[in-house]
Structure 1
């Protein structure tokens, strides 16, 4: 408690200095005459303050859990090892270690590559083998989430331990985690991830000791510990409950979409006018049925009854006018078929937002409108024919299933636990290309979740939980801030444009205490763990963070492909990889040149000495952070005899 109290005092002091500095910057220090660089700089400083606030909130309830209780005696456990194209021997190394776990369980290899040699190797050792069922043919596979969803439907263990193919578990992993589930509200226990092939200097920033430590412990204090995709135990009941709720939500959305389209079609037909009184009456009856169905949805009535009643109402209304011109009717039906995706779809016509808009623009005849509504009713996909299976426990809204799944569990009232102990030995990327592929996928997945299910608007989450998820998403926007932090000193040193009125005493007495307290807070929280590499990569990977945001935005809002790639699990042949860090090299060159130009301008009397030296120091700090990518590009992989610091329980 003494340490937590000290951390809280530091948080308050740091934020007080930070707020004072940023408020002063906005009201008294912005050089509005050079707004084009001054405003972006103060905006990103505000971004950094918000980032600091979110970090402070995370640390406010940092939770160091006591020893877990003993595991229960009578529960069943399935151990899932997910694989796609990893080498057979690597997968089997993990599978054999999983088989040796001391607690009673069943080990399964989930082979998304459907490889006969993988099946043979697993079955030869008495290890279960699962690949996709036939139902997945022709449907979205949803990567790892789909693989896990398929396996959940093929097994029945009360608890599931999920392991990546390169995460070799220790025999005690279940003994050390199952005890937490004595609380019936606990749905997930996430353990630390530690990589054995990382040298002490960690050139690729793989270990993430700040996240797998204080940050997860802080989130745990707010009941917001994240699922990280591997080395985690989940309660099947919670997952299946979440899958069923997701299924109901999807069906309800399908009904709402069909009713919206029906209402627009009927409105268009009513404006055109009916040829007979019977047609007008039928259109009004169906329109009234749409209103009744929407009211039933609002009251939360059974979806099957809502759709059944609506279909009866449409059938009754159209029965009296079915003798209309068949040729015109067929033409209308052919058009709705074309706009809606084709009648060969296994679940009937498939209506998307574009089809709804197109249908609403057509001049429907009354009869065509009624029959089109009948067709729209059939698009209500109660069986979810667009998916391989109706119930999807693992979230499939992003290329990384973990964060979205955890957020849904929390929104449904379940608890999660972070157990700070290394209970599996993993393998980290050993080359720059693989590391960048991995980081891009993580960031893309996080951005997809933010754009599709923003935690700030999700029902069921507490305010701290919303902010814990948002904090992680917010951090991935730092790529845009990095551009400004790199550009600002270059602009001054080369062109003499100062984004602040002056580097006065008022400036330093506000900025320096904030920076010092912020760094002291990190030191106290880290308590000896190495965090410098993580700080470097938060800036140095700015092109990755920007690409993640732009590609996720294009995917979510315009349906563009992410170009998803599975992270290689084996060491790649080394070759110079300077092209992968071209943006960083350009930025570093520009910073270095700016220093030379700034010194020349200072000696020629075109720039103030104090301002020049401050900006040169700023450039030096930027170069110190960016320089880590040069080490990464030259890294040739792990040498087995190098020492490595092992994660330990706190």
Structure 2
């Protein structure tokens, strides 16, 4: 079968950003200055700069600014320090990976590793590519490694392919728990000391085990996460090539002129902002120093003992929690102060019988949920490691519909955990770990205040009512130092990783995030759809109607306000207010435009456009 990504097989993953102590110290200095200025700015906003004549407008904005500042504080803490775990030689015997008092200590047997490929409806030929690469995994010692296809689709073609390739095949009668249930079913039928979790499209590199297994020499390391890398991200087309394809030679010439004046311009480069380097190389990697890097599923290696122990503890906690709730209802009905011991014992037995033991929580975000359970296990003090180097490659969403489904699932799963089993209130985690998890969950609530940030300049332009006491010198003296230090700190803190697209994407993400929040608040479950591995045909303008509305209102209101100011129309605008809100609006419009353009993006034709355009020198990355 001819897959679209065959043309990208030659690509190599990026190297992790080299650590620099001087850059880290500079970031910490700038971040400290920014937080200090932020506190000063918010104090001034709450005490001196509210517009008391329009509190309906002024209060929501200062509330949004305060919520965003809390997120900045958490993000600053997240980026505070880089501390990579020292790499150690890959172990051979299980004795090298367990504590001295472990039953396995002294057994002298080689370790065993299971590689899991959960699948549901992916094409067998796609999974074949993953299995071929998994069979190339090398290890410096002679150990037992088995590859398993976990087929929730119960497909004869997949079973036949597994037999043909000499790998194990596991299926089940139902799909309870979806991916988490699939993993649990596999754990019940396998015995490897360590488990490599892959998605159906995960293509592991030969080095994945020899580079990561050494971390497990520490008997407290429960899992190792490796960065996910999407090797099929669109590289885009340089502007002259794109214009030549659209309008011909004249367009190509205009594109060249534009690039002479402005510099290189690339159209269609990663339109959905799927590149995960910011998340793995910056956010996750910098959680190592407080043991708070969480599991992200594909590309992770787990210690079976840790998964099973954490599951048993979670199982016990769940039964105890349900027993307390039921006994509370019994006391309410019977008016008794205490439930009879025999009734309590029988109730517990029934709960044990009715509650399923689940090594991987049946949850749309089973990976982060399992991380929370392990990190909160105070008796074992399990550790996680974020390995900095890419050790596999996989496929990214290739259209806005697929991207929306995936982001809704991620956001909804995180919000559901935040609302119903918040790790901040769990016993076992230390304060630093709680702050790190808090940063992740807080960001998923950002749509609440992002809507305010999008609406405020529009309201000002249409009404000339300011949400602050005045856009005067005092305002700019408080606001500009705060914003400038924030941008400088962000630039230094994320040095080597592009971040602007991620920030605009974060703002334009508000409709999906709001829908996820509303779904959880109504008590609805977030679904478990698999992510399509092929581009869905058509355009998806209906998915960006909210962004179109914001873009249109922003543009129209800005034109209206400037027209009123110069031609004496309605409103009492100030030049300072118009300039400030115009920059604000342009930033919002650029964020919305990126998502709108993504809805109509399609990959360029497979034909050799370089030969047709005669612009061979304009290759991506040059």
Deviation at 1:289, TM superposition (A): 7.1
User: Partner residue of 1:570?
Assistant: 534
User: Partner residue of 2:120?
Assistant: 84
Q: 1:77 to 1:218 in 2, by over 3 A?
A: same
1:25 to 42, 45, 54: 45
Q: Is 1:481 the equivalent of 2:449? A: yes
Q: Distance in 2 between matches of 1:577 and 1:46?
A: 35
Compare CA radii of gyration and give the structure with the larger one.
Answer: 1
1:289-331 CA deviation, whole Å, 9 max, x = no partner? Answer: 725x4xxxxxxxxxxxx77x855xxxxxxxxxxxxxxxxxxxx
Q: Is 1:508 the equivalent of 2:481? A: no
Indicate conservation of the 8 Å contact 2:24/2:493, yes or no: no
Q: Is 1:462 the equivalent of 2:435? A: no
1:554-591 CA deviation, whole Å, 9 max, x = no partner? Answer: 23xxxx34354221122222x12111100100110000
Q: Distance in 2 between matches of 1:143 and 1:192?
A: 24
Q: Is 1:623 the equivalent of 2:586? A: no
Q: Distance in 1 between matches of 2:323 and 2:559?
A: 65
Indicate conservation of the 8 Å contact 2:319/2:348, yes or no: no
1:503-549 CA deviation, whole Å, 9 max, x = no partner? Answer: 12121112111111111112112222211111111001110111111
User: Partner residue of 1:151?
Assistant: 186
Q: Distance in 2 between matches of 1:501 and 1:47?
A: 20
Deviation at 1:494, TM superposition (A): 0.8
Q: Distance in 1 between matches of 2:594 and 2:414?
A: 24
Give aligned pairs, total: 532
User: Partner residue of 1:169?
Assistant: 204
User: Partner residue of 2:489?
Assistant: 521
Q: Distance in 2 between matches of 1:442 and 1:644?
A: 31
1:128-158 CA deviation, whole Å, 9 max, x = no partner? Answer: 11112x5xx5xx8122111111111111111
Taking structure 1 as the reference length, the TM-score comes to 0.78
Q: Distance in 1 between matches of 2:326 and 2:454?
A: 50
User: Partner residue of 1:248?
Assistant: 316
Indicate conservation of the 8 Å contact 1:208/1:534, yes or no: no
Deviation at 1:643, TM superposition (A): 7.5
2:136 to 97, 100, 104: 100
User: Partner residue of 1:613?
Assistant: 579
Q: Distance in 2 between matches of 1:454 and 1:141?
A: 24
List aligned pairs for 1:235-384, cutoff 5 A: 235-267=303-335, 290=339, 293=341, 310-311=345-346, 377=347, 380-384=350-354
2:282 to 203, 211, 214: 214
Indicate conservation of the 8 Å contact 2:409/2:527, yes or no: no
1:197 to 227, 232, 249: 232
User: Partner residue of 2:8?
Assistant: none
1:87-139 CA deviation, whole Å, 9 max, x = no partner? Answer: 1111111122112211341000111111111111112111111112x5xx5xx
User: Partner residue of 2:84?
Assistant: 64
Indicate conservation of the 8 Å contact 1:72/1:179, yes or no: no
RMSD between aligned residues: 2.1
Unaligned runs of at least 5 residues, structure 2: 1-20, 94-109, 236-268, 609-617
2:373 to 394, 408, 412: 408
Q: Distance in 2 between matches of 1:53 and 1:224?
A: 17
